[in-house]
Structure 1
């Protein structure tokens, strides 16, 4: 039996066993419910997609859940009515010291997802939270507030992870992340879902087929909701969400492979002879952004308005770090030179080229000026480092194809004397560690920043320690100090003296229960840009 089906079956059985008592107790909720609200009556356990927290602040964080007693059915198996959900945040796991509580409304327009922006809490400490719908109680999640403004924490510890193709393997990496100690946050750089249709057994396609996507390629809002429900049903992923706060972003596959601004991948060239017009593509973007918001622990500021969403944001962790969560998809120009990997054409050198868009770029540069953080983290999606590929080609989907946009950011770092810039990225399904120079095309220019690229959770299957392409990348790019094509994630710990990043690798993902291994460890010293072996 497929692992998702097994997990859902287990959850449904648990709900059904408790169903008689639960339905009787639900009636008792009526006096506390708001007038006019339908009372929740569930055929089975409604919290099948788990709980999450995110975007920590010194006085609180977001907590999330979604009512979905039958998550792979239309509407998650929930009635199309607004339903009350109570929530509690406590100082202890037994909930004997309640710090905050209230009632939220799970609305059908948002797939019965609940986003609560908890405030009024103490800084720099863990809290526990849970939800209740009628007599049913969710699992307990653990969140953590950020340090107070001006506070000097001893350290900041976080994970960078993403690219989790469901069909390509098991989410064992998330079970290891769930057990990582004392994380302040998990930065999910994107590709939380993949939009591709489900592959039948034996059907050829990209990557291995270990599990199967449900449904066709995601186009409509119900398509995207089903895909998120399938991914969110994975118990390893649920465990990681319950254990740590997340800073979620998105890359391309939450919408469409290699989309850029108003442009679909289906551009009327090569494999896509029939182009999708921008006025049609916005409909898909609107559906994708709504489903992303519905399933991520983010604040109300990220509620999409049709095809527009504001997902970039800034978080401070006392004087230790300022984190800029960026969006390198929505505001960029279309990939130059027809996308793909090829030598740069004149189009790639346009001085007005945009990767972040003018407004986000100005916002970033403003935030880099006078930052309180000893470490300034650019948490984004695609590699910023100089990365020459075979035959002197570059990837047209990465910062290499937008050199003018990259140079404006690097010049901004230099002009503002921003302390210790560290770039986080993913997307390429390999682990990379690199020094970024003030002029990336000039090997003699000074080092100005450091980049850590996390490999994929599962995308492309088991992978390998090294590949011929990896050997070529290291030979052509002396500023890249690591190439590893296993699956895994990064764990970073910043102190006043240094940031240490461990590249965690799994020897396989096409089978379950892979052990946690260390592929490499690098150190960035305070005041000295560039990677050093740890």
Structure 2
């Protein structure tokens, strides 16, 4: 695949993305074109609908640039993962108005079966803090119009940043109504996808209380490159996901289900080498499909850790907590959770993260963090709640006190990072987390055993799942009933945890100002209904300089 973008600049101070660059430019014969309404369901002809089946998207906004994405179906047999269909030239156009009367950038990308007919254009030379409109043309058809926005200049004073935050969207467990509600707000700067954008399971293995709301494609567990491509393509047909991508830039990291459950650098719970082949080959296939189908820049080959910035208000460090992590450990001096030779970040990423946090001159240091960093002990739970939580969180079902898939299973790395924050007096660090199908608001203590006397070095907001099963779903009971005993037990054993919702599905809205960050938690009425409603549940905030979460009385308006 080739594009006509300008020469790439580093995504983070330490990393530069590798890609093929400028080949040719085309004349911008688009001025005065008729308006196509925003939203992927508003395609103007059958030809457009048949070519641009998977919508349009933008991502990784910079002060001077944005990454544009689409996928074309040049012939009916060129379905995702098929390896069929001809090479196709795709023209992209960027304008400052949705009528495309003022075109500011344009070019052509050649795509084909080698990249599953996906298209990326890394457009540079744009103006900071500016709204843009974009579209694609191929095979005589024109895509829906997308809207995006560059970030403010690096040294700009910024009054507010507002991010939608989502995690754990399982196609078989329901519809993606949280995406619709985020899209309808009209007040967001971007959407932060915190992992588990897709799920790898075979159809029926992980659904909605064992009920498949809509079947996966392919129906079997995805293992090969063709499998991962088809699964990504299936998700990208969801109307609410398409509309959200067409309206707002995406900022995305991966977690385990983009590969397989509880993935590490050496294997996964849901990978059996004797029947499913080499783990490294499966990871390579999953990563290739991810970078083809997602509007993200790889910071280095095969990783997603990188940094974005919103003026002087916030730096966002985005972590890859799967590519470098050691196998999950147990107890004992060798290979246990406290073994200093075990890592969740890898040495290079840890040094990059510490350096980025130290060097940052922004008011807030946000960390996109796919698994919880706050320590949590579960041993005090009654058995009838421990077992469903163990199933959900990956805990041994006979009572191990920690979740070894989280930072709890890699305590040396956590001590190093949190000790660095404390030693260097780094303040206003907020971890933004997904993964565990529940919502949490927590202080992050450097020494949990002596909290609150020893203080807190950061805070963490964890958002619940879009659709994936919660505790009440596993138990098949009404929400906010028996799980309340688990909430009380967890909070009693972990006083730094201020709030938990183990049962709801929904999303978060993070609002950042120079004075505070606030996470507004929203829940949806029924994940199995396409028209599910949403309502505000709780809000928690962190005042600048406090390193503490406190309850807020209302969501940000």
TM-score scaled by length of structure 1: 0.85
2:222 alignment partner, SS class: coil
Q: Aligned residues, how many?
A: 483
Q: CA deviation at 1:74?
A: 4.1
Question: After superposition, what is the alpha-carbon deviation per residue over 1:263-320, rounded to whole angstroms, capped at 9, x for unaligned?
Answer: 23257xxxx6x7679x811110011001111111112645x5xxxx121001111100
248-257 vs 408-417, greater mean Cα deviation: 408-417
2:366 alignment partner, SS class: strand
Q: CA deviation at 1:478?
A: 1.6
Structure 2 CA distance for partners of 1:520 and 1:180, relative to 1, 3 Å: same
Whole-angstrom CA distance in 1 between matches of 2:497 and 2:128: 38
Q: CA deviation at 1:408?
A: 0.5
1:349 alignment partner, SS class: coil
Question: After superposition, what is the alpha-carbon deviation per residue over 1:303-361, rounded to whole angstroms, capped at 9, x for unaligned?
Answer: x5xxxx121001111100010000111101111129xxxx9997111123211000000
Whole-angstrom CA distance in 2 between matches of 1:330 and 1:59: 29
Q: Does structure 1 residue 318 correspond to structure 2 residue 311?
A: yes
Matches within 5 A, 1:141-180: 141-180=146-185
Residue 204 (structure 2) aligned to one of 199, 206, 211: 199
Q: Does structure 1 residue 450 correspond to structure 2 residue 459?
A: yes
Q: Does structure 1 residue 210 correspond to structure 2 residue 227?
A: no
**Structure 2 equivalent of residue 118 of structure 1:** 123
Q: CA deviation at 1:238?
A: 0.6
Q: CA deviation at 1:418?
A: 2.1
1:394 alignment partner, SS class: coil
Whole-angstrom CA distance in 2 between matches of 1:12 and 1:182: 21
Pairwise CA RMSD: 2.7
Whole-angstrom CA distance in 2 between matches of 1:520 and 1:48: 37
Residue 521 (structure 1) aligned to one of 530, 539, 543: 539
2:235 alignment partner, SS class: helix
Q: CA deviation at 1:232?
A: 0.6
- Alpha carbons 1:375, 1:420 under 8 Å: kept: yes
Residue 437 (structure 1) aligned to one of 445, 460, 469: 445
**Structure 1 equivalent of residue 261 of structure 2:** 257
Residue 469 (structure 2) aligned to one of 460, 471, 474: 460
**Structure 2 equivalent of residue 472 of structure 1:** 489
Matches within 5 A, 1:259-298: 259-265=263-269, 280-298=278-296
Structure 2 CA distance for partners of 1:276 and 1:356, relative to 1, 3 Å: farther
1:527 alignment partner, SS class: coil
Whole-angstrom CA distance in 2 between matches of 1:72 and 1:353: 46
180-189 vs 49-58, greater mean Cα deviation: 180-189
Q: CA deviation at 1:482?
A: 1.4
- Alpha carbons 1:164, 1:192 under 8 Å: kept: yes
**Structure 1 equivalent of residue 357 of structure 2:** 368
Structure 2 CA distance for partners of 1:394 and 1:70, relative to 1, 3 Å: farther
**Structure 2 equivalent of residue 89 of structure 1:** 94
Structure 2 CA distance for partners of 1:213 and 1:70, relative to 1, 3 Å: farther
- Alpha carbons 1:266, 1:275 under 8 Å: kept: no
Whole-angstrom CA distance in 2 between matches of 1:151 and 1:409: 29
**Structure 1 equivalent of residue 430 of structure 2:** 422
Structure 2 CA distance for partners of 1:357 and 1:390, relative to 1, 3 Å: same
**Structure 1 equivalent of residue 393 of structure 2:** none
2:436 alignment partner, SS class: coil
Q: Does structure 1 residue 481 correspond to structure 2 residue 498?
A: yes
**Structure 2 equivalent of residue 409 of structure 1:** 417
- Alpha carbons 2:207, 2:468 under 8 Å: kept: no
1:57 alignment partner, SS class: coil
Structure 2 CA distance for partners of 1:330 and 1:319, relative to 1, 3 Å: same
Whole-angstrom CA distance in 1 between matches of 2:174 and 2:322: 26
- Alpha carbons 2:517, 2:541 under 8 Å: kept: yes
**Structure 2 equivalent of residue 398 of structure 1:** 406
- Alpha carbons 1:74, 1:222 under 8 Å: kept: no
Q: Does structure 1 residue 379 correspond to structure 2 residue 383?
A: no
